[in-house]
């Protein structure tokens, strides 16, 4: 008599891949609206596979998300991050961890995943860029609401955003890191004035935002009053991972663009350019493998210092690759005439030219924390080096001199 056979459960990766294939078969990315496809992915738990079930996830490892992304892009779809980078990459993990209640979090997440509601990040100010904790925008309690006044700057996609992640000062009598509170603010309300900042690309994806007696519900507060810096760290670590942590196949991404340009211009090959390309390819592959290892290590929790590593290395590599591309193009590199101030596109636009991407890459070592800040973080938190002297750490914010 033969022994009964046992059916082994499918691995999580197999389960995720099968679910993703079923979604793209039922909602062909080449024939259905993007919102329909992304909505189906959210409902299937494939928007953020590491989120809890019912909130766009399956409660699985963060490291399985690339499985979904690859199946969707192979079928002709877009990555959710490319459509709503601030919301998808930074807003979602923050509201899941600190959201007021499950119902409100779900109400934010689904339109965030579909791209129907774009999010922006209201952190930096004219007097508080790298030192975000020194910000001056105020929020004063008024019953069940807070009244916000101040100015933010370099706010990506604020001009198309429905919601903004706002950090404001609620207690000027406490030291700068301990008097902040984190809110989700309606960007379409009266008192929110968004003004474009034209970049050298000719586009205006960045903005300055003026807040004059704008109101935000206390029910839209993330975390406790005065604990905004702790919440903001979650956003910032996910931002750095999102900016520098996209992995793909060997030879893909920006180095893939350089290789494609190299093949398209055999008449411009020189030994010097060949050596530069080989060195860049080695750096890109080292970066890709390091990211893959870091993702496996951190797949069960929130990103740690490895996000700063990937952001630092990825930003500088991106700039060097596009400098190579411009040198390879020679005089053709000067042919750029996209000065339309197109405010509908985001910086991940796949149809942008090499020239536009070269110009846009100058922002890579500034956005999400400058390279200098990243090196300080890695030196202090990873290598254990002494921190820089800080004279304002324990002083009430209102007593700290400001220019």
**311 with 369: CB under 8 angstroms?**
yes
Beta strands in 41-160 (DSSP E): 118-122, 138-142, 145-153
What is the distance between the alpha carbons of residues 385 and 16, in angstroms, rounded to a whole number? 42
Q: Which of 117, 125, 205, 239 is catalytic?
A: 239
**183 with 320: CB under 8 angstroms?**
no
What is the distance between the alpha carbons of residues 352 and 156, in angstroms, rounded to a whole number? 17
Residue 103 is a catalytic residue: no
Give 260's contacts (C-beta < 8 A, 6+ positions apart): none
| Residue that is written with structure tokens 């928007």 in the block | 47
**245 with 298: CB under 8 angstroms?**
no
Neighbours of 344 (CB within 10 A): 9
Q: Which of 209, 108, 235 is CA-nearest to residue 163?
A: 108
Catalytic residues: 239
């Amino acid at each position: 008599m033969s022994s009964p056979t046992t059916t082994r459960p499918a691995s999580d990766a197999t389960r995720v891949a099968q679910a993703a294939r079923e979604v793209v078969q039922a909602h062909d990315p080449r024939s259905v609206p993007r919102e329909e496809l992304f909505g189906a992915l959210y409902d299937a738990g494939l928007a953020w596979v590491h989120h809890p079930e019912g909130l766009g996830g399956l409660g699985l490892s963060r490291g399985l998300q690339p499985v979904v992304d690859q199946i969707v892009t192979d079928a002709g779809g877009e990555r959710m991050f490319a459509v709503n980078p601030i919301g998808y990459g930074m807003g979602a993990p923050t509201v899941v961890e600190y959201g007021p209640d499950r119902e409100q979090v779900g109400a934010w997440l689904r339109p965030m995943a579909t791209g129907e509601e774009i999010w922006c990040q209201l952190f930096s100010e004219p007097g508080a860029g790298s030192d975000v904790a020194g910000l001056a925008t105020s929020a004063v309690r008024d019953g069940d609401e807070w009244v916000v006044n101040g100015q933010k700057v370099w706010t990506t996609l604020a001009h198309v955003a429905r919601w903004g992640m706002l950090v404001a000062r609620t207690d000027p009598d406490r030291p700068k890191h301990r008097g902040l509170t984190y809110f989700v603010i309606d960007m379409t309300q009266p008192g929110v004035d968004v003004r474009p900042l034209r970049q050298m690309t000719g586009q205006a994806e960045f903005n300055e935002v003026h807040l004059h007696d704008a109101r935000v519900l206390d029910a839209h507060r993330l975390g406790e009053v005065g604990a905004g810096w702790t919440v903001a760290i979650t956003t910032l670590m996910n931002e750095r991972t999102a900016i520098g942590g996209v992995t793909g196949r060997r030879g893909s991404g920006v180095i893939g663009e350089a290789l494609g340009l190299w093949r398209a211009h055999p008449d411009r090959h020189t030994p010097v350019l060949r050596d530069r390309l080989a060195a860049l390819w080695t750096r890109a592959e080292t970066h890709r493998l390091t990211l893959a290892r870091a993702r496996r290590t951190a797949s069960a929790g929130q990103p740690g210092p490895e996000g700063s590593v990937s952001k630092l290395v990825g930003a500088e590599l991106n700039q060097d690759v596009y400098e190579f591309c411009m040198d390879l193009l020679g005089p053709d590199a000067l042919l750029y005439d996209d000065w339309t101030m197109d405010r509908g596109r985001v910086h991940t636009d796949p149809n942008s030219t090499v020239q536009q991407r070269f110009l846009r890459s100058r922002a890579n070592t500034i956005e999400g924390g400058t390279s200098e800040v990243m090196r300080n973080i890695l030196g202090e938190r990873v290598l254990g080096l002494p921190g820089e002297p800080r004279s304002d750490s324990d002083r009430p914010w209102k007593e700290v001199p400001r220019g």
